[in-house]
Amino acid sequence: QQQVKQSPQSLIVQKGGISIINCAYENTAFDYFPWYQQFPGKGPALLIAIRPDVSEKKEGRFTISFNKSAKQFSLHIMDSQPGDSATYFCAASMNYGGATNKLIFGTGTLLAVQP
Amino acid sequence: DTGVSQDPRHKITKRGQNVTFRCDPISEHNRLYWYRQTLGQGPEFLTYFQNEAQLEKSRLLSDRFSAERPKGSFSTLEIQRTEQGDSAMYLCATSDGGAKVVTQYFGPGTRLLVL
């Protein structure tokens, strides 16, 4: 029940295209859903995050869509660029007071944007 | 650069040796997490500190592992009698527990190779 399932495992997109990565969770106590971007040899960097009280959040070219009833959320990267080539991780945590807020990560999606 | 630093960045050791890693958090962050990331996987939670108190430990943290956070500032993670299965990236993340949304910022990680 603590798992976060992520797909696809890898993704190849043409420059200018839309990249879509999907995640699903089981634990309804999760209330914070961040996406992290990781380049080889680096630590994960927060990209964008959403709370379950909204269905969509947009920051620049990055959008999270959230479906609470289906317990699914996805990352959309519009106008994908070669510099977006990285591994993307979805995660979930319990963010309310008293919780440790430990992050449960998906298995990652390796995105390659071809020029 | 998130402001979280880790040292060393790389460590090669022989099986059976002890190793110690250090994490320096963003100065005002009272929460500190250790995660382990193996190749092709997402980070997995190991342990959590709030100030100097270690409040949660994962079952992944065997008795060969010990973590400390004296005075609620930097933290150390020690692995005794290393095994080849300990080879992984060890990531430290910190957050401000007083913030409305407790965002975790990751350091660059320490990559451990056990020969």
Give the model confidence (pLDDT) of B52-85 as tens digits: 999 999 998 889 999 999 988 999 999 999 999 9
pLDDT of B71 reads 85
Query: A3, A27, A57, A100: which to substitute to probe chain B, counting the most B Cβ within 10 Å?
Result: A100
Task: Give the span between the Cα atoms of A102 and B35, in whole angstroms.
Answer: 9
Which of A21-25, A94-98, A103-107, B104-108 bottoms out in mean pLDDT, i.e. has the lowest? A94-98
Chain A residues whose CB is inside 8 A of the B56 CB are 100, 102
Q: Inspect the interface and report whether the beta carbons of A43 and B42 lie closer than 8 Å.
A: no
**High-pLDDT (> 90) share of chain A, %:** 85
Are B89 and B111 spatial neighbours (Cβ–Cβ below 8 Å)?
A: yes
Band of residue A1 on the pLDDT scale cut at 50, 70, 90? low
Q: A30 and A92 in contact (C-beta within 8 Å)?
A: yes
Q: Is the pLDDT of residue A109 over 80?
A: yes
- Measured CA to CA, the distance from residue A104 to residue B53 in angstroms comes to 21
- pLDDT tens, A20-69? 999 999 999 898 999 999 999 899 999 999 998 999 999 999 999 999 99
Taking CA atoms, B20 is separated from A63, A82, B44, B65, in Å, by 39, 37, 19, 10
pLDDT digits (tens, 9 = 90+) for B101-115: 778 999 999 999 999
Per-residue model confidence (pLDDT) at position A97: 63
Quick one: pLDDT at residue B72? 84
Chain B residues within 8 A (CB-CB) of chain A?
2, 4, 31, 33, 35, 40-45, 48, 55-56, 91, 93, 95, 101-109, 111
Chain B residues whose CB is inside 8 A of the A42 CB are 108-109
